């Protein structure tokens, strides 16, 4: 039997039939963590019936942040920092404020966080250091180099790799994927974006996490079985709520 993997980060859009994608994933022996990040994705994630995360990411401006607990909610997120579309002190202050609010919610709820960071390494590191959360979380769809990974690992965070690691020009990222220690690595799709090779350019789906998993296992000189066991254990350690994962 194929070893089971968990896609620790996918989004369901309103046009997706989440139940079909989850069924397809289950048939491919892939478990799913549905991630929000804005009001719409928060809703589709919670309605999907699988473990989920809710949060308000960098793109939500002026959102009044409303988060409520749920037994299947395993994390707060995604949230974080993104200066890809521009940087100003005002933008940074706005993103920091939204981050701090949700970090406080995570602290009180004793949930980990799912962190997005793009062109924002130093701000992300300083915000995570300041938040100093007892339950850390994961830096998702990581694209940084070894040095940034090392500093995030030192803060206690897990590092998750998406299909980007399979892209032809991603040599530096492959180096990072070899570097992250066994007890801190996770995998994900970030569907519907970032489909791994050989599906690059298509709409991504949770079942495709197998391609990334096989690729990273080979990169690390591990069997697919050993890598599956490792990442599944890490998923439970990162997110807790073991019983929720056992239903997948
Ligand atoms: Zn995402």
What is the 53 CA–ligand 1 centroid distance (Å)?
Answer: 11
> How do residues 94-148 score in pLDDT, each as one tens digit?
999 999 999 999 999 999 999 999 999 999 999 999 999 999 999 999 999 999 9
What is the 161 CA–ligand 1 centroid distance (Å)?
Answer: 12
Distances (CA, A) of 125 to 41, 89, 122, 150: 26, 17, 5, 11
In angstroms, the CA 138 to CA 35 distance is: 12
What is the 22 CA–ligand 1 centroid distance (Å)?
Answer: 17
What is the 108 CA–ligand 1 centroid distance (Å)?
Answer: 23
The pLDDT profile of the chain, 248 residues, written as one tens digit per residue, is 889 999 999 999 999 999 999 999 999 999 999 999 999 999 999 999 999 999 998 876 656 778 889 999 999 999 999 999 999 999 999 999 999 999 999 999 999 999 999 999 999 999 999 999 999 999 999 999 999 999 999 999 999 999 999 999 999 999 999 999 999 999 999 999 999 999 999 999 999 999 999 999 999 999 999 999 999 999 999 999 888 888 88
What is the 11 CA–ligand 1 centroid distance (Å)?
Answer: 6
pLDDT of residue 248: 81
Specify the number of domains making up the chain. Answer: 1
CATH number at residue 116: 3.20.20.140
> How do residues 81-96 score in pLDDT, each as one tens digit?
999 999 999 999 999 9
In angstroms, the CA 74 to CA 244 distance is: 8
What is the 187 CA–ligand 1 centroid distance (Å)?
Answer: 12
In angstroms, the CA 215 to CA 19 distance is: 27
What is the 104 CA–ligand 1 centroid distance (Å)?
Answer: 21
- Sign of torsion over alpha carbons 24, 213, 146, 107: positive
What is the 9 CA–ligand 1 centroid distance (Å)?
Answer: 6
pLDDT of residue 66: 82
What is the 2 CA–ligand 1 centroid distance (Å)?
Answer: 26
What is the 224 CA–ligand 1 centroid distance (Å)?
Answer: 25
> Is 161 within 8 Å of 177 (Cβ atoms)?
yes
What is the 139 CA–ligand 1 centroid distance (Å)?
Answer: 11
**Counting beta carbons within 10 angstroms of the beta carbon of residue 154, is it exposed (0 to 12), middle (13 to 18) or buried (19 or more)?**
exposed
Model's pTM, two decimal places?
0.96
Neighbours of ion ligand 1 (CB under 5 A): 190
What is the 181 CA–ligand 1 centroid distance (Å)?
Answer: 23
What is the 246 CA–ligand 1 centroid distance (Å)?
Answer: 23
What is the 48 CA–ligand 1 centroid distance (Å)?
Answer: 16
Domain of 202, in residue numbers: 5-246
What is the 25 CA–ligand 1 centroid distance (Å)?
Answer: 18
């Amino acid at each position: 039997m194929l070893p089971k993997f968990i896609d620790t980060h996918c989004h369901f859009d309103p046009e997706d039939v989440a139940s079909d994608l989850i069924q397809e994933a289950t048939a491919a022996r892939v478990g799913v963590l549905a991630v929000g990040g804005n009001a719409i994705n928060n809703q589709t994630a919670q309605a999907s019936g699988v473990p989920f995360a809710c949060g308000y990411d960098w793109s939500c401006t002026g959102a009044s942040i409303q988060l409520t607990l749920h037994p299947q909610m395993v994390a707060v997120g995604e949230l974080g920092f993104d200066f890809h579309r521009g940087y100003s002190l005002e933008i940074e202050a706005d993103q920091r404020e939204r981050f701090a609010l949700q970090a406080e919610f995570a602290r009180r709820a004793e949930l980990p966080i799912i962190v997005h960071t793009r062109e924002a390494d130093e701000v992300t590191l300083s915000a995570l250091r300041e938040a100093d959360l007892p339950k850390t979380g994961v830096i998702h769809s990581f694209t940084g180099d070894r040095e940034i990974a090392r500093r995030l690992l030192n803060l206690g965070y897990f590092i998750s790799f998406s299909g980007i690691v399979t892209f032809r020009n991603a040599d530096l990222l492959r180096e990072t994927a070899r570097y992250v220690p066994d007890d801190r690595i996770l995998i994900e799709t970030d569907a519907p974006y970032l489909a791994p090779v050989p599906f690059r350019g298509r709409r991504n789906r949770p079942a495709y996490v197998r391609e990334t998993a096989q690729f990273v296992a080979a990169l690390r000189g591990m069997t697919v079985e050993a890598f599956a066991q490792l990442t599944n254990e890490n998923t439970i350690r990162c997110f807790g709520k073991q019983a929720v994962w056992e239903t997948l």
